[in-house]
Structure 1
């Protein structure tokens, strides 16, 4: 851990608290304003400002106020408000963000593929999904765009996009602050100040700090792990020389330095490995037992000093220039991402995998130009986009003294020196370039009927390099051609390899939306979209043939080809005090990109491949109402049926793996038969995709009463926010051992606020202390070990906010 960073926490918190105190004293003096019953929500989902009920698009809009109130300070917490948004993270690098069950292959992340949910902050594309793990900084609004967004948002939005808009510099002085304290030593401080520097220049500065004790106790090292330690800062300058020109310069930096991230023992399941090589026999032979077989005791004994060092930031220049009848927008940006991990990939107190870490450094550059025009009968957006990225990774994979017993047989298994100290040094880099032009037209055929076609042409090129050098415990190289049994055994665990995969392609995305305004507050629409997610290259080692040579054909994977149909209805009633939006969708993807493993231990992170075809279909509904200024209620729900339509050569689940591989004419053994015959691969066509619940919902209500407290008029309020999701598969090939049970979470808050911006409330999250898993995973070598990441226990605290 970084001791300097840790010792700086009290000073950094005190500094932010001073900024907060200044804002709080002013806010308490301001307590008179009318409550607005109904508020129009403006979005920029189509790259121009519109009200959410007027756009023919399935979009969930979550305001900054609601985000703060429910404690949704990152994308993970946002899933409790958007039912069809899924988030899984074993650490910041290995993070998946999906919408409607689609987006990122479930499993360990490879640099060589792209996400299917685009993440945008103030018009800047964030290519690495690790950005989703950071705290939100001074967010004004988040739009979750569901379904393909390939025309306006690009090639890698086959499942949707998350469009984050932050608060901008103002020419009137503003200050706001927030302090939260809670159990588990939770501390969160946020502060923002904005105002003029001259008649034409305004500035905004935002800082945020979050820290919390870990939720899992390491009994071996006597420390709490899976903690939070986040720091973020952003500065913006707005230059507005006249009403026709705005130039915004922005720079931000975020850092995480948490002792994280561990998954802990959940259960074991029988595999087809010989019985002596399954978990119970191996741990007995090594005289080992986990601290607890109840994962909700939240105990581990991992023997590695974990770290999730993560830094992300960049700078951008956004120019909005009113030219002629429309607006020209230019967005120029540079982003960086540095990842410095320390992991324990065997998940146990045993030293099997002694070291597994892949530090990475990324730089990306983007440039977008677009022109927006809004007319009486025609609106259009045309633009061009350029992207370049370079990622460098330096990996180290080392085996420990328990590895021989865990992975080998016979006399070699009894000799720790065979694998102890065996180490692989991986060097890899990736270059990626993308160019696109696009356009979307809205033709108002009549006052009620609008036809909206869109088109995007995209070119992608990727090239990469991967080299793994392997050395034994004495520092001697491990090479092909060595026939000594020890060297052969070592190559079976870590094998040297060199590959230089590449990929290039041009693709066309297009869509057509027809919308009809049946009444002033009723909009019906239907959409067809044909889009794609760009191809990829394998950057973490290739599978090898019988001679041990890399299978070069597996170096690149095909683009995903997506066809999407959607129909929706947007309505408002009761004088626009209530809103009900419904959408039905069906998405089919050919050459779906997945992460697989063929049982070769040396392919440590799995590799990328294409499944034949998948489908996600379902229905979503969003309802909210505010019948009076004293009460509001919302309920959002979704039914999602996502499954593989065709995947005939998938990796088998653990209960069908580990035995002797079946040859022609042999019948594989029943699941879990020790020493049995395992199929070479499995047909999982018709089975469901990982990570997606069939049923999901979010719901809540708030009631308030006018009160006067210490001479200040305001509202006392009580609020509830809940979420539910049914069970889901947590393995790319569904397994009886990795199915996560459904769960419901309940959050409460009660407090007092004034119209001037003062707000103090107590809160409880996961108030009923629901025991649930965020995901489950398999331990190494198919011994039957299942590990998991328990969700947060019940937490409670107090938040004090003020604005001036």
Structure 2
């Protein structure tokens, strides 16, 4: 991890091709395994994540809380497929376990310093040793990462998408008795980068009238972006980006050895404070001048497990899990002086609303939302060793979830008046235009659900070096509530039936082989998987009221299937190589009321008869055409999933003696590849991200306690997008977030 520069979850995806991580800012992040986990491109506080993030056995409820830099890490485990019968929270797609180095009773210290272009600096240090011999040990660690941005803002005269992270962490290990160990953890992380910007990537035709698409809207205000090539890495966004967060908490892990079993208790408290601002119109016009959803999360959890020690005829794990989370959000969106001309229908009448900046200038939406989320479960797994070679391991989980939430959006005009969007009030055309941009709403969703899930694995050791297994799992992703606003009916009232979404039901099948060959100089692991998800929690619109894009609902069925290979080889003592690959076929099996792609959006709404769409619609990209009320995208690929992905590389070592120390010179290479993927909930020609490959090299000298190497990442300076998105309002503007350009630098580390 250290030599490959893998210091956060995002970089981990270049080593583990089954893992995908997408982030337009820390709050709007998603981790998926095998294409499953969270709806692509959507942040909604009211749903669970399908990929669990654990740090030293503590579950982190929000993916944003896992966007810290890895510091003093022993190892990272990426577990694929449903989890939940052995520990922690029920997760349907997998888990990422981060395990830090434990306190040591032998004094030790580590220092690592890295520098590179773009003013990159990273410093890490840790120290550990006994406070009381054989009884009390302490470990302290800290890190700092800074880098100027890779995107230059010509308007604000600064580099953006920078890095500015600091963290401290402490552990106290107490051997209280010969059979009882207690470890107290505490950590605090602060991040304050100038981040995160998305900007002009391309333009595609929609079904909006020509004079309301991007080219005409910008021409009407004499505006042009500084470059239409996003890989020039310049923008002129007029809103100062902010991505400030504080992450921290404390936990106590206790292990009591009872001889035949060990009892483990994990008690934890964690917090996440988020202060953002972003330019949500993605251009240098003051259309939306403020877009910020300040958020605070607090969580407490308690886990109690008992696990048998050693191999016997029947081994077992049984446990209880309790989790409570509070999320508070204070949202703010403010329209600017260019909003009227950009968002309202153009007119030649000087008195028309579109020519009057005051109609939308200062129009403000203030959102207050809250979530109280409680989850409790009992779980357990038995492993019956039928013979020395064959075992069967059934597991079960009984889960209870309760969510109580509230959402209130208040709209005020530029004069400070509270906006009323009743039918009578909208007889005034100014009010009608204002309500068409931002409308008030309030609702209080509640739900409580029980579910029972389980799995069974049959494992057979063919030879000491060949192990085969077969797994079936029935899992559930907890029910959710919509906390990003609801679609409105004809009276501008929220459609309350959309306030909650049902739990996902998962059927998962997996076959696998784990092998070590050629006198254990080769490791080759194979897995074939097939996962069906029913009531998939997806981004949809309502086929009857196609007035809001991007809220949650249950969408029929999704399927993900594929094959994975993980392999490592050491043909000689000097050379080791690895190759990991995955083929993933993930698609919507049934999704009949999905949001339409940009090229089929923005036109006159399709007629409805008794709530059923009728009449013909226009071909894609027909300006002023008729847009479908919704689209049936059954059979289309899931967004964010590459069919092919791989990581590969190796290292060649040459023994040498340098400055009186025995060590080795080495040359290392790490490559990754992923094929194209869709960056939109429904497949679009405009938001297809082309496949790309990345190559990293390193050259250095290391001993048992010292390592110094030079590195280059994205060595061939490949241009690629991490994500693409569309500007709201069906203008046809597609915005992107380019991946990092080529970076070069050096690292020196020393342990004592």
TM > 0.5: yes
**What RMSD, in angstroms, separates the aligned Cα atoms of the two structures?**
1.4
Which residue, out of 722, 734, 749, partners 1:774? Answer: 722
Paired with 2:403 and 2:447, the residues of 1 have a C-alpha distance of 5
User: Contact 1:495–1:602 (CA<8 Å) still a contact in 2?
Assistant: no
User: Contact 2:542–2:593 (CA<8 Å) still a contact in 1?
Assistant: no
Which residue, out of 286, 300, 309, partners 1:365? Answer: 300
How many residues are matched? Answer: 737
Q: Report the CA distance between 1:243 and its aligned residue.
A: 3.0
SS at match of 1:405: helix
User: Contact 1:532–1:561 (CA<8 Å) still a contact in 2?
Assistant: yes
Which residue, out of 332, 337, 356, partners 1:401? Answer: 337
Residue in 2 that maps onto 1:212: 147
Q: Report the CA distance between 1:342 and its aligned residue.
A: 1.0
Q: Report the CA distance between 1:150 and its aligned residue.
A: 2.8
Residue in 2 that maps onto 1:434: 375
Q: Report the CA distance between 1:108 and its aligned residue.
A: 2.7
Q: Report the CA distance between 1:320 and its aligned residue.
A: 0.5
SS at match of 2:729: helix
Paired with 1:105 and 1:155, the residues of 2 have a C-alpha distance of 19
Residue in 2 that maps onto 1:326: 261
Which residue, out of 529, 537, 540, partners 2:484? Answer: 540
SS at match of 1:503: strand
SS at match of 2:571: strand
Paired with 1:156 and 1:435, the residues of 2 have a C-alpha distance of 10
Paired with 1:604 and 1:389, the residues of 2 have a C-alpha distance of 28
Q: Which runs of 5+ in 1 are unaligned?
A: 1-66
Q: Which runs of 5+ in 2 are unaligned?
A: 609-613
Indicate how the Cα distance of structure 1 residues 676 and 154 shifts in structure 2: closer, same or farther if over 3 A, else same. farther
Residue in 2 that maps onto 1:498: 442
Q: Which one scores higher on RCO, CA 8 angstroms, separation ≥ 6?
A: 1
Alignment of 1:541-580 (within 5 A): 541-580=485-524
Indicate how the Cα distance of structure 1 residues 594 and 147 shifts in structure 2: closer, same or farther if over 3 A, else same. same
2:627 is equivalent to residue 686 of structure 1: no
Residue in 1 that maps onto 2:611: none
Residue in 2 that maps onto 1:254: 189
User: Contact 2:543–2:630 (CA<8 Å) still a contact in 1?
Assistant: no
Q: Report the CA distance between 1:663 and its aligned residue.
A: 1.2
Alignment of 1:718-757 (within 5 A): 718-755=667-704, 757=705
2:708 is equivalent to residue 760 of structure 1: yes
* Consecutive aligned runs of 4 or more in structure 1 exceeding 3 Å deviation: 153-156, 596-605
Structure number with the higher helix fraction is: 1
Alignment of 1:35-184 (within 5 A): 67-154=1-88, 156-184=90-118
User: Contact 2:487–2:548 (CA<8 Å) still a contact in 1?
Assistant: no
Paired with 1:587 and 1:598, the residues of 2 have a C-alpha distance of 27
Q: Report the CA distance between 1:709 and its aligned residue.
A: 1.4
Paired with 1:112 and 1:604, the residues of 2 have a C-alpha distance of 18
Q: Report the CA distance between 1:242 and its aligned residue.
A: 3.3
User: Contact 2:540–2:593 (CA<8 Å) still a contact in 1?
Assistant: no
Q: Report the CA distance between 1:547 and its aligned residue.
A: 1.2
User: Contact 1:540–1:605 (CA<8 Å) still a contact in 2?
Assistant: no
2:118 is equivalent to residue 187 of structure 1: no
Q: Report the CA distance between 1:599 and its aligned residue.
A: 11
Which residue, out of 456, 463, 482, partners 1:519? Answer: 463
Q: Report the CA distance between 1:323 and its aligned residue.
A: 1.4
Residue in 1 that maps onto 2:731: 783
Q: Report the CA distance between 1:421 and its aligned residue.
A: 0.5
Q: Report the CA distance between 1:366 and its aligned residue.
A: 0.2
User: Contact 1:86–1:101 (CA<8 Å) still a contact in 2?
Assistant: yes
User: Contact 1:494–1:602 (CA<8 Å) still a contact in 2?
Assistant: no
Q: Report the CA distance between 1:214 and its aligned residue.
A: 0.2
Which residue, out of 351, 363, 366, partners 1:422? Answer: 363
Which residue, out of 701, 726, 729, partners 2:650? Answer: 701
Q: Report the CA distance between 1:155 and its aligned residue.
A: 5.1
User: Contact 1:108–1:605 (CA<8 Å) still a contact in 2?
Assistant: no
Residue in 1 that maps onto 2:160: 225
2:213 is equivalent to residue 278 of structure 1: yes
2:662 is equivalent to residue 713 of structure 1: yes
Which residue, out of 372, 383, 390, partners 1:449? Answer: 390
SS at match of 1:131: helix
SS at match of 2:36: coil
Q: Report the CA distance between 1:246 and its aligned residue.
A: 0.7
Paired with 2:622 and 2:235, the residues of 1 have a C-alpha distance of 29
Indicate how the Cα distance of structure 1 residues 785 and 692 shifts in structure 2: closer, same or farther if over 3 A, else same. same
